Structure 1
């Protein structure tokens, strides 16, 4: 048994089985298998070496295209090379999942920046002198009416 992704030199392949209506996806990496399952593909195997995925029977052609396109985009976003049969591409699904991926990346980036040690302000240590210490953000300009005590 040979996998199409191995023949094409990619990490994963999503295609319609020749002379059939079955939509098949194959990959080697366990992370790719997880993405395929999350996109609605059903895992099949012939132990110990062969694992592939199929879309369930009874889906409309548009649903097959939608799930296949979603899987391909998510696999690419995860860093996998993917071969997608052109007959399984859906422009609407592509736009939707691309927006989702971009939003997810922006959210992760914002969360990483917010929790970055560089983004958190350090609280100064308590002063041991009797004079109170005023902490002012660096962007605030000093007040023009500051009086000095002597």
Structure 2
């Protein structure tokens, strides 16, 4: 499977990279976002969501578990599972309904939902490297392969 690696010098570069990836996406699409607290997952998501002409504030859904962005061209569901106590809670919130249609699902802390989440098309891992961030993308499906090949 394809793997891409990029270094991002600051938050603006992280937002810009989210916008760049968005231009290659095909729906439905599931993206897992991995990395330590503060590594830039929500900043990356902000760029991606804003690329679909969303003008409002993009915040981390840490306390709500999911933040919906139902836009004209796509429905985006930004999940943050960091505070999820039991993965079975995802079944009660109807998690399977989010993985269909013209939906883009961005899932932070996907390891907290093991067994209840659909597999990712793209795995995004963000980490600190010295004074900047690094982002590694891995294709995890045929759709993910196609999306990442459009980035190169």
Which structure has more helix as a fraction of its residues? 1
Which structure has more strand as a fraction of its residues? 2
Q: Is the TM value for this pair above 0.5?
A: no
TM-score, structure 1 as length reference: 0.24
